[in-house]
Structure 1
Amino acid sequence: MGKGQDKKKETKKKPSKTMAEKKAAKREKGK
């Protein structure tokens, strides 16, 4: 649970990281 909250804080602080993660998820779905 603690880890999930930490990730949410990081994504809010670094939106660029979220974009990169979204792109990676799209790539995995396309594979």
Structure 2
Amino acid sequence: MSKGQDSKKNVKKKPLLTAKEKKAAKAAKKNSSSSLAH
């Protein structure tokens, strides 16, 4: 559990990771929409 929280903290600390996360979030949103439609 703490590992997940650590990951979130790292993402907030590293702006570079945020950029990657943004892309991942977009892909996740697309997947989520597909899942919902399914």
Q: How would you bin the TM-score normalised by the shorter chain?
A: 0.5 to 0.7
Runs of 4+ that moved beyond 3 A:
none
In 2: Cα distance, 1:26 partner to 1:4 partner: 26
Residues in 1 aligned to 2:37 and 2:5: alpha-carbon distance in whole angstroms: 26
Structure with greater Cα Rg: 2
Q: Distance in 2 between matches of 1:4 and 1:27?
A: 28
**Percentage identity across paired residues of the two chains:** 23
RMSD: 2.7
1:20 has 2:27 as partner: yes
- TM-score, with length taken from structure 2: 0.52
